[in-house]
Amino acid sequence: MDIPLGLGKRKNQHFVFYVDDMILTGDDLLKIEMLNDKLSACFKIKRLENLKYFLGIEIADSRCEDSPPVDRGRYQRLIGKLIYLSHTRPNITYTIRLSQFIHDPREVHNAAARRVLLYLKGTPSYNLLFRPHGHTNVEIFIDVDYAGSIVDKRSTSRYCSFLGGNLITWHNKKQLVVSRSSA
CB 36 within 8 A of CB 47: yes
Residue range 38-70, pLDDT digits in tens: 888 888 887 777 777 766 666 766 657 678 899
Angle of helix 72-85 relative to helix 107-122, nearest 10 degrees, comes to 30
Task: Concatenate the DSSP letters of all residues of 22-48 into one string.
Answer: EEEEES-HHHHHHHHHHHHHHS-----
**Quick check: is 179 in a domain?**
no
pLDDT for residue 23: 75
Q: Could you tell me if 115 and 77 lie in one domain?
A: yes
Same domain for 76 and 51, yes or no, is no
> Could you tell me which of 137, 130, 148, 143 has the C-alpha nearest to residue 171?
143
Residue 8 placed within a domain: no
Q: Picking from 8-12, 102-106, 157-161, which range would have the lowest pLDDT averaged per residue?
A: 8-12
Under a CB-based contact definition with an 8 Å cutoff, are residues 168 and 141 in contact? no
The total of structural domains in the chain comes to 3
Where in the sequence is the domain holding 165, given as residue range(s)?
138-174
Report the pLDDT value the prediction gives residue 1, as an integer from 0 to 100: 41
Tell whether 33 is covered by a domain.
yes
Residue 107 lies in a domain: yes
Cα 21 from Cα 54, distance rounded (Å): 8
